[in-house]
Amino acid sequence: MILLTVCIAQFMVPLMLTSVGVALPSMGRDLGASAVQLGLVEQLYVLSLAISMLTFGRLGDIVGQRRVFLAGLFFFTFLTFLLGFAGTIRFVMICRFFQGIGAAMLLAGSMALVAAAYPPEQRARKIGLVSTCTYAGLSTGPVIGGYVTLHFGWAHVFLMAVPLGMAALVTGLFGMTEMEKNASGERMDWRGSLAYAVSIGFIMTGAAHARDLALGLPLIVLGLIGLIVFVRMEMQSKSPLLDISLLTGNRFFTLSCLAALGNYAATFGIIFLMSLFLQYAKGLSPRQAGYVLLMQPLMQVVASPIAGRLAERFEVAKLATWGMLASSAGLLLAALTAGPGIPLWLVVLELMLIGTGFGIFITPNSTAIMGSVEKRQFGVASGMIGAMRTLGMASSLTTIALIFSLFMGKQAITDATLPRFILSMRTGLAAFAVFSCLGVLLSFKRGTGRNSNS
């Protein structure tokens, strides 16, 4: 029942992320929203997710992961229901921010729940199933969201998720028993949580305004300074939000987290770049481009459970490294071949290679992270997985924004500026390949780990 509840939640949250993006134009017309406001609908959701992930992972260790998970499930479902009846864009923006808080409560402890429920020899396969549900939600979101918006309206994109949330809540309430608290009796570091949230908030906001160097760069610098202050606070705290000795004394855990950061930074922006390329350079319609882009998350869905099974037979660190090598090969191939004359079958092959590599990497790497810490740190480790995901996404989008600013400025993509766009795209793909190769190096350097919680 734990696995079923977590899988439903892991499908629902990314479904809300990608399906709402398709509904934004219709929402903007009905509510009279500006482009900036529509952008904030997505940015506020991701921002609240990023700033609170680590906090709820730690809180779950102290008060119980089931309690935080179910509270987040109720909160997320209730906010999703309210969004279906929103009458103004400002109400949508407020609800999306708090919906992200609910999502963080869900996601921060989901891996911790699974890790605690299953012995190490079964953990990889179960984490593979959870990853499959995550990428199924990401990949089907645009298709489902587009269909629902076209036939029923944008409000039903939110309302369609409410039954999923209620089903997960019922299975969680009646099927999940209260588990042992991983860090019972320890205190919550709310000062550290605030410092971390403000720092990540500055970095994420700066990343969103990366093209405006007068605003974006100072915010990112302030965020990085804030993270340094946060680390110093945690080193002096008796009950820290993030045990710094976990990073300094557990090399395997640290390098596994950094490898995840590199992997997300290398792969998250691919869909955005390829979407523009297929429509502007190859002349595909949005629907045709969507079918081509579907190949990457589809391969992630296929590869994740297979990787979970393989992780029970092979060393997880080595398996994750091979997965990232496959993604690196796909990114390098895409950077070298990107151009108007590239055959469509080669684009599909590149996306499939990147998606397969990502799917092979993420399950054993998440298993490695959860298996490298003590049980009392499961929530923090689960929160770190989510934090690396969000920071990697932000790094990927910031890289794209900076490259576009450098090569294209404020010019739109037209026939005249297409060569500059192709150059920007190749540069972005090359940067992603570098991120991926750095991730390969980190993954290789961590060596092999042993489950300390077996």
pLDDT in tens, 120-155: 778 778 888 888 888 788 777 777 887 888 888 889
CA 70/CA 107 separation, integer angstroms: 11
Please give the C-alpha separations between residue 61 and each of 330, 355, 379, 381, 425, in angstroms, as whole numbers.
Answer: 39, 33, 5, 10, 43
CA 348/CA 298 separation, integer angstroms: 11
Which residue, 396, 353, 390, 323, is CA-closest to 128?
Answer: 323
CA 20/CA 23 separation, integer angstroms: 5
CA 365/CA 258 separation, integer angstroms: 11
Whether 390 and 258 share a structural domain: yes
CA 377/CA 181 separation, integer angstroms: 10
Whether 217 and 286 share a structural domain: no
Torsion (CA) 288, 133, 130, 166 in degrees, nearest 10: 150
The pLDDT value recorded for residue 181 is 67
The pLDDT value recorded for residue 309 is 83
Average pLDDT, the chain: 83
Average pLDDT over residues 267-295: 79
194 falls in which pLDDT band (50, 70, 90)? very high
- Ranges of beta strands (E only) in 10-82 are none
Whether 205 and 315 share a structural domain: no
Most confident of the following: 44-48, 196-200, 268-272:
196-200
Average pLDDT over residues 61-73: 87
Segment 389-426, tens digit of pLDDT: 877 877 787 787 778 777 877 676 778 888 888 888 89
CATH number for the domain harbouring residue 334: 1.20.1250.20
Average pLDDT over residues 99-126: 83
* Cα first-last separation, the chain: 22
**Residues 6 or more apart whose Cβ sits within 8 Å of residue 274:** 289, 292, 293, 347, 351
The pLDDT value recorded for residue 449 is 57
Least confident of 94-98, 233-237, 271-275: 271-275
- Contact present, 92 and 86 (Cβ < 8 Å): yes
Whether 216 and 313 share a structural domain: no
Please give the C-alpha separations between residue 440 and each of 13, 253, 451, in angstroms, as whole numbers.
Answer: 29, 15, 22
179 falls in which pLDDT band (50, 70, 90)? low
Residue 54: both structure tokens together: 């680590």
**Percent of the chain at pLDDT exceeding 90:** 18
What DSSP state is assigned to residue 279?
Answer: I
- Overall number of domains in the chain: 3
Whether 329 and 443 share a structural domain: yes
pLDDT of 36 higher than 50: yes
Of 148, 164, 185, which residue constitutes the final position of a domain?
185
**Other Cβ atoms within 10 Å of 306 Cβ, number:** 15
pLDDT of 310 higher than 50: yes
Of 185, 212, 230, which residue constitutes the final position of a domain?
185
Q: Which helix (H) or strand (E) holds 264?
A: helix 251-267
Whether 173 and 106 share a structural domain: yes
448 falls in which pLDDT band (50, 70, 90)? low
Segment 211-238, tens digit of pLDDT: 666 777 788 889 889 989 998 988 888 8
Whether 283 and 353 share a structural domain: yes
The pLDDT value recorded for residue 71 is 92
DSSP letters for 375-398: GGGHHHHHHHHHHHHHHHHHHHHH
Structural domain boundaries enclosing 99: 1-185
Average pLDDT over residues 99-122: 84
The pLDDT value recorded for residue 210 is 63
Segment 433-447, tens digit of pLDDT: 999 999 888 888 876
**Percent of the chain at pLDDT exceeding 70:** 94
CA 8/CA 406 separation, integer angstroms: 42
Whether 208 and 295 share a structural domain: no
Average pLDDT over residues 75-81: 94
The pLDDT value recorded for residue 454 is 41
CA 181/CA 349 separation, integer angstroms: 46
Whether 181 and 202 share a structural domain: no
CA 233/CA 331 separation, integer angstroms: 39
451 falls in which pLDDT band (50, 70, 90)? very low
The pLDDT value recorded for residue 182 is 62
The pLDDT value recorded for residue 286 is 65
CB environment 292-304: b (16+ within 10 A), e (fewer):
bbbbbbbbbbbbb
The pLDDT value recorded for residue 44 is 84
The pLDDT value recorded for residue 442 is 86
pLDDT of 346 higher than 90: yes
Whether 374 and 272 share a structural domain: yes
Of 142, 161, 185, which residue constitutes the final position of a domain?
185
Whether 251 and 225 share a structural domain: no
Whether 24 and 164 share a structural domain: yes
CA 399/CA 427 separation, integer angstroms: 10
